[in-house]
Amino acid sequence: TQLLEQSPQFLSIQEGENLTVYCNSSSVFSSLQWYRQEPGEGPVLLVTVVTGGEVKKLKRLTFQFGDARKDSSLHITAAQPGDTGLYLCAGAMTSGTYKYIFGTGTRLKVLA
Amino acid sequence: DAGITQSPRHKVTETGTPVTLRCHQTENHRYMYWYRQDPGHGLRLIHYSYGVKDTDKGEVSDGYSVSRSKTEDFLLTLESATSSQTSVYFCAIRGTGTSGSVKEQFFGPGTRLTVL
């Protein structure tokens, strides 16, 4: 069974602090997506990383795909209360089945 | 907005009754997925479809069946609902988003199902 371990599970920080969320697996993925989910809503896609070592930036969010395409990180600079939510990573399997594996999520709370 | 709707959005039912959830998409995507989301488990794949009448099982398919008789609709049926199937159910499609040719998943708003 392929697993995608996400850490930390919970994070409560003050506005203005930096944080990093990690997504790790022993499996290789063809791509990896990061989502943010608000209560009562579906996950919303933030970014997709495809190439090993790729770095993408979305305003204060920086996403990196590991060189071996087995892991990824999400770094938030100067967190704002609006960043509060559940962050999910999802790896696209390379088996050609077009299935995805999700991490268990990181619940972030940014205090004003 | 990937044009995905789910119905109903909320449902309460009793143990042993059949329940059908509907996912509808408006953009002719080939791949559709059903997930359940539970605390501590993230999103787990129940079934997915790669075309009309073409479906396959995910990691938590026991107690669930699906049907796709037309491209735009993907139905999830709980044949005899149990309390362990109380969950939030999400439908997703696989389509082209912000990354150019790379296919990505986009999700519907979810259905909250409670089995008493």
**Does the pLDDT of residue A2 top 70, yes or no?**
no
Cα angle value A71/B90/A87 (rounded, 5°): 35
What is the overall mean pLDDT for chain B? 93
| A58-94: pLDDT as tens digits | 999 999 999 999 999 999 999 999 999 999 999 998 8
At B16 the three-state DSSP class reads coil
Residues B6 and B109: beta-carbon distance below 8 Å: yes
CATH code assigned at A103? 2.60.40.10
Interchain CB distance below 8 Å, B102 and A31: yes
- Mean pLDDT computed over B27-50: 93
Residues B87 and B78: beta-carbon distance below 8 Å: no
Task: For chain B, give the percent of residues with pLDDT over 90.
Answer: 84
Closest chain A residue to B107 measured between Cα atoms?
A: A42
* Partner A contacted by B99 (CB < 8 A): yes
What is the overall mean pLDDT for chain A? 93
Q: Report how far apart, in Å, the C-alpha atoms of A60 and of each of A20, A50, A57, A63, B20 are.
A: 12, 20, 7, 10, 41
Restricting to B residues 11-50, those with a Cβ less than 8 Å away from any Cβ of A are 31, 33, 35, 40-45, 48, 50
Domain interval for residue A45: 5-111
**Does the pLDDT of residue A97 top 90, yes or no?**
no
Interchain CB distance below 8 Å, A43 and B31: no
Q: How many domains does chain A have?
A: 1
Structural domains of chain B ordered from first start: 4-115 (2.60.40.10)
**Does the pLDDT of residue B109 top 70, yes or no?**
yes
* Partner B contacted by A56 (CB < 8 A): no
